[in-house]
Amino acid sequence: MELEFHGHNDLGMANANSVAALCSGARSVSLTVNGLGERAGNAALEEVIMALELSFGCKHGFNTSFIGSLSNFVSKASKRPLPVSKPVTGGKALSHESGIHTRFLHSDRNTYQLIAAKAIGLEEAEFVYGKHTGSYALRILLERESIYISKVGVSALLEKVKQVAVAKKQGLSEMEVIGLARHLFRNNSQIKAL
């Protein structure tokens, strides 16, 4: 007998239960884009597909390069904004702030990012700069913008970035950090080029 699984997300386990059902012999599962459905919703198509592919190496035949645009389209059509921390397609799902993450991600995105943005049709997110940022990430950003500051200057900027991020209760964008650097060091001898 062929079995199909239909799960609701009342306990936050619809995706896990759908994957478990497929691994246990179910031939199909009910999925909806962004997990839309009554009560707490259903299993999310984009999350189950990526879980099958990345956790189990499953060849599902779905073109994942449309996941990002499909998720955004359904979000707009249903008038249900995606939570920024929604797995796979949320606005912050592929962003990083932690010093250790950003240090290694500069050389290899696979170190701390399970999903390649390109694989789901999205652009790589810029790093977030805040209370968990390290000096390496700041130095890389500044050098990319041809701004060269001494180690002492980078430490001072890092402290300012952390203060502003805590005060705002959110991370800063690359442009905000560059603006802070320009403001902080506009008359300072620690800067080599601005």
pTM above 0.75, yes or no: no
Kindly report the number of other CB atoms within 10 A of residue 76's CB atom: 11
What residue segments make up the domains of the chain, in order of their start? 4-78, 94-194
The model's pLDDT over 81-99, given as tens digits with 9 standing for 90+, comes to 999 889 998 877 667 556 5
Q: How far apart are CA 63 and CA 138, in angstroms?
A: 36
pLDDT of res. 148: 85
What share of residues in the chain are helix, strand, coil (percent, to 5)?
50, 5, 45
pLDDT of res. 18: 97
Q: How far apart are CA 94 and CA 112, in angstroms?
A: 10
